[in-house]
A and B are shown apart, each in its own frame.
Chain A
């Protein structure tokens, strides 16, 4: 009896697992279709995105957009890849700019241009990609086609604590490497006296290296920075590259660059600036919101200028940073339409403007900039304009368009490590960069072995 009962229970359990959920047909207000969107923010930027999703749901009751948040871009991408391998991917994902080649290679996504298919609007949401600012469209269009929908775009800028700079008698913000060095020299007595901990900080992250490379109009990988063909070589031994690492090393050795000893230390750098330990920081324009809020609360006057460049070489332009929104391939047509309409709504003129005000990310539409000017936003908040000017004045060249290659994320980490080695081990810059180049090339070769058809 006991045995029979046991067997029956086991059989029942086995049977239950076989019952598959029944799928509903069509999207309606009674049974709305769900659109899952993954984004890489957990703070006030997440709140903004959730509010837009709710608004979209009110406009289109046949859809429900669920925003799922991640602490960073990398775990988000991992999660997406795994859900693809399990055959149940979300409809929309936010992908950082350096993942572009991977996204194309993976075949996971349907290009935005293909979904729009020449239409002016999708479910009443206007397309109007001509309105997107040139630096964004030149980065994200490949062969003239939009593969994704632009969203958050940033660029590094210099923030300075004007109270401290004023005390040292510095009236003009530095705009060049040489200017920073002069300012640091002037600030050194305050460092010696212990009233500040150092002169300047920026996170040790390959992104800054890439920016300085673009400023010197130099490519990161061969084959037209990966835009004319699949790259086969990472170029870390160029004159411009060595120039950057040498300057980094010099700044550290003179005691001007306050390194925390931790790579990619975004929060530590901002914390040191916010707590008035350091008078200058170079970081993403996306930190403008947080930095200005903190400055307001503590009665600090903060000024901004462009990302400093090497006066001896000159400035060509900066590359954008940030991410775009990708739509998964193979969705039901009705859901695909909903996902596209949501992204168009998400990045329309008004929303791009409020997104900029909340975060400090650059408004990606010309019409948003015009709207903000009309509202007098930039007059009241001139620091929010610095990034737009820097990107707007950038010349579009192969170098400033930014590199596209499959192992960008790993190469970034190799560069970051090389810069740290140059600063802390006192080794020869050319040798360190040659070793880093070799390491990066092995990775690229391996990547190409797995992705390129023979």
Chain B
């Protein structure tokens, strides 16, 4: 039994899609060719929206709208269902309207290319082209598309590694996460760590690069040493920092205690431990950022800086008005890569430094995916978690691209 019949849901979505298309077609500013075909466009809009919703919900058998044994619907489930319904409809509608737009404007549909020369022309060329692409496609299918599909499938199941069977549980894995305050805290911790890792590593690396890029005696050797921390895996960085920061056996507290009579609970206090992780991760990724900034600084045209200096600009003015804007593509690239590092690659470091503690104050989303999926073998919940993490990081990256528009200059 369903709360609302799937047919009604699809009809509603179709109506919304059709209505939207019709409104767009009649709106002022639409081309005459579009206005004349408003009915057809409304029909196409309705069909694509319904199809999009159907493609996502049919494999789930519309389960978010199903009633349980007592005839009750789960509110969170229904909300997730509506989200999927609208999401699918929206995406399909966007694709369809872009295709129809091209068709109305008489443009070629995407896929057709104009350059057709060389080995892959003439009879049988498509077959040969496919044959040559086969290894790449096979690898992509095996290691990217199939795991991706499998993750989606697993996220709707109760599944354990080694278990003889799996059970379809609809949205339960997501449902459990959304209602869990611990998960909310994990998300916050991830963002907190990522924000400060990015901020510190970029600021520090720019400062160091600014000092290290100049042609000084032994500069090459010195610069090579600066990159060295990046050559260590996060695991090794975690071990090194554990030896430094360990509460009882650590070097740092030993020195602090013998000189100042002071002991800092680096890894024991839930408010301090995240900072320790930030420091260790920053140290680990710093070399990578320095490398790029040094390369960038060496490409800042000297004549610009010289001219500014002659005009009376101070060193600080020169840095903020010339050097920093010219470095913006590198800064943007580093923001994106260090964000990815902070979200995904700090797992090993955290595992060896704090194991996610104390009191889960350094448990990031990625760390939890591993803990739940690999250590606890709960594949379904881990798949749901990794999909959410994936969505969040994609969202952050899109925001970064949006925000950087007009602020990043590529060449002149």
Contacts and interface: CB of A to CB of B under 8 A. Distances in A.
A78 interface: yes
Contacts of B330: none
A409 B376 contact: yes
Contact of A261 (B119, B163, B357, B377): B357
A129 interface: no
Interface stretch (B198-206, B216-224, B266-274): B266-274
A88 interface: no
Nearest to A259: B268
B161 A450 contact: no
Contacts of A106: 162, 164
B162 A421 contact: no
A450 B128 CA distance: 47
A6 interface: yes
Nearest to B128: A3
Interface string B347-358: 000000111111
A102 B247 CA distance: 37
B274 to A, nearest CB: 12
B162 A81 contact: yes
B360 A262 contact: no
Interface stretch (A159-167, A194-202, A209-217, A226-234): A194-202
Nearest to A3: B128
B249 interface: yes
A389 B131 CA distance: 70
Contact of A420 (B162, B246, B358, B375): B358
A416 B249 CA distance: 22
Nearest to A2: B119
Interface in A98-133: 102, 106-107
Contacts, number: 110
A262 B242 CA distance: 10
Contacts of B105: none
A425 interface: yes
Interface in A407-424: 409-410, 413, 417, 420-421, 424
B265 interface: yes
B247 A258 contact: yes
A84 B162 contact: yes
Contacts of B308: none
Interface in B256-291: 257, 261, 265, 267-270, 273
B7 interface: no
Nearest to B160: A450
A18 interface: no
Contact of A194 (B165, B261, B270, B357): B261
A7 interface: yes
Give the interface size bracket for B toward A: 35 or more
Given A10-B131, A194-B261, A3 B119 contact: yes
A264 interface: yes
Contacts of B160: 446-447, 450
Given A3-B128, A201-B248, A277-B248, A194 B273 contact: no
A278 B248 contact: yes
Contacts of B167: 449-450
A423 B265 CA distance: 14
Contacts of B359: 420-421, 424-425
A201 B357 CA distance: 17
B43 interface: no
B374 interface: yes
27 contacts: A2-B119, A6-B128, A78-B374, A81-B161, A81-B162, A198-B248, A259-B268, A260-B247, A260-B267, A260-B268, A261-B269, A261-B273, A261-B358, A262-B267, A262-B354, A263-B357, A268-B248, A272-B248, A272-B249, A277-B248, A409-B375, A410-B376, A420-B357, A420-B359, A424-B268, A450-B158, A451-B163
Task: Pick the 9 closest A-B CB pairs, nearest first.
Answer: A261-B268, A261-B267, A81-B162, A450-B163, A272-B248, A197-B248, A261-B358, A410-B376, A272-B249
Interface of B: 119, 128, 131-132, 134, 158-167, 242, 246-249, 257, 261, 265, 267-270, 273, 353-360, 371, 374-378
Interface of A: 2-3, 6-7, 10, 74, 78, 81-82, 84-85, 102, 106-107, 194, 197-198, 201, 258-265, 268, 271-272, 275, 277-278, 409-410, 413, 417, 420-421, 424-425, 443, 446-447, 449-451
